[in-house]
């Protein structure tokens, strides 16, 4: 069973790699950002509360994100393992996550830290295009859709996320540095942290991740 957490700055490729890993390991990918964007799209009460925080690049209140994660990981399809992308992002979320895993008798396998320079992620975020309907993620230079502006998977129109504008990107980096990056120490102390340099191509990074995950499961 693999419970893997992907931790890293905005645009480091967590979502891209989580999708590939989920396919390879045949376990669900849980992206809190995707879950929240879906709530915004539906116009639900949660979505209405979350929207202004997300657009500004700030963290959505813990009570919402913790509850959404708890509900999702309690589903039976998570018993075999999960890839969690974008949670926890604060000390309070990390403490709540420990508690929910214990309650559900799930064991955290690894926290994979995506290490990369800020310059590189700014370029990744600036060229990102996401599908309005299925959420698939592309890049105008590094991961081009077959037909410009349209999703390879479902054919719907691609769009640029509101929080990929310069001001929100800057806030997201600040929030990451202040609230999320300190979790590296927490998981290092628990001997759960593995660092992967994610500066290479999507395929190179994927190969590195597969090696790191395999390496750990051999030892366990
Ligand atoms: P979320 O959607 O999780 O945003 P994020 O953490 O800022 O991360 P991104 O999704 O922007 O980047 P990514 O690392 O997934 O990169 P991607 O694979 O897309 O969260 C959004 C918001 O929701 C938050 O700001 C907050 O408001 C709220 N939220 C979410 N979780 C929360 C929580 N726990 N608590 C509170 N609030 C929360 O890749 C980026 C681009 O680069 C793509 O175009 C991709 O094609 C390209 N790319 C990927 N890898 C490579 C590569 N190796 N080489 C070249 N290009 C690459
Ligand atoms: Mg993402």
DSSP 120-145: HHHHHHHTEEEETTT--EEETTTB--
Which ranges in 104-201 belong to alpha helices (H)?
118-126, 166-175, 183-189
113 and 8 Cβ atoms separated by less than 8 Å: yes
**Atom 23 in ligand 1: which residue has the minimum CA distance?**
33
Sheet strand arrangement including 158-159:
137-139, 128-131, 158-159
Of 123, 109, 74, 138, nearest to 220 by C-alpha is 109
Residue 110's DSSP bridge partners are 4
137 and 16 Cβ atoms separated by less than 8 Å: yes
Give the DSSP letter string of 22-37.
HHHHT--EEEHHHHHH
pLDDT at residue number 216: 60
pLDDT at residue number 2: 87
Residue-by-residue pLDDT tens, the chain, 220 positions:
689 999 999 999 999 999 999 999 999 999 999 999 999 999 999 999 999 999 999 999 999 999 999 999 999 999 999 999 999 999 999 999 999 999 999 999 999 999 999 888 999 999 999 998 988 999 999 999 999 999 999 999 999 999 998 899 999 999 999 999 999 999 999 999 999 999 999 999 999 999 999 876 434 3
- The preferred substitution site among 124, 126, 201 for testing ligand 1, maximizing ligand atoms within 8 Å of CB, is 124
Residue 195's DSSP bridge partners are 113
Q: Is the CB of 205 under 6 A from ligand 1?
A: yes
Query: From the CB of residue 116, how many other CB atoms can be counted at a distance below 10 Å?
Result: 19
| Catalytic residue from among 51, 58, 72, 161 | 161
pLDDT at residue number 215: 79
CA–centroid distance, 84 to ligand 1, in Å, is: 12
pLDDT at residue number 118: 86
For residue 37, indicate whether it is catalytic. Answer: no
Query: From the CB of residue 122, how many other CB atoms can be counted at a distance below 10 Å?
Result: 17
pLDDT at residue number 219: 41
| Catalytic residue from among 19, 37, 110, 128 | 128
pLDDT at residue number 144: 97
Of 47, 52, 6, 13, nearest to 29 by C-alpha is 6
Burial class (CB in 10 A: 0-12, 13-18, 19+), 37: buried
| Catalytic residue from among 89, 110, 124, 129 | 89
């Amino acid at each position: 069973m693999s419970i893997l957490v992907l931790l890293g700055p905005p645009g480091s490729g967590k979502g891209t790699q989580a999708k590939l890993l989920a396919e390879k390991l045949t376990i669900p990918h849980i992206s809190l950002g995707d879950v929240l964007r879906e709530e915004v799209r539906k116009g639900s009460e949660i979505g209405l509360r979350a929207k202004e925080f997300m657009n500004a690049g700030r963290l959505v209140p813990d009570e919402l994100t913790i509850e959404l994660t708890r509900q999702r990981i309690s589903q039976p399809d998570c018993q075999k393992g999960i890839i969690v992308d974008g949670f926890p992002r604060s000390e309070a979320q990390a403490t709540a996550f420990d508690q929910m895993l214990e309650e559900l008798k799930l064991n955290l396998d690894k926290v994979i830290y995506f290490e990369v320079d800020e310059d590189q992620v700014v370029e990744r975020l600036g060229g990102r295009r996401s599908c309005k309907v299925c959420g698939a993620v592309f890049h105008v230079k590094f991961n081009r859709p077959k037909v410009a502006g349209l999703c390879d998977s479902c054919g719907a129109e691609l769009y640029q996320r509101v929080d990929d504008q310069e001001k929100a990107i800057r806030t997201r980096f600040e929030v990451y540095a202040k609230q999320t990056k300190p979790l590296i120490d927490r998981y290092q102390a628990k001997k759960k942290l593995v660092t992967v340099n994610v500066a290479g191509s999507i395929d190179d990074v994927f190969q590195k991740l597969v090696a790191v995950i395999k390496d750990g499961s051999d030892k366990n």
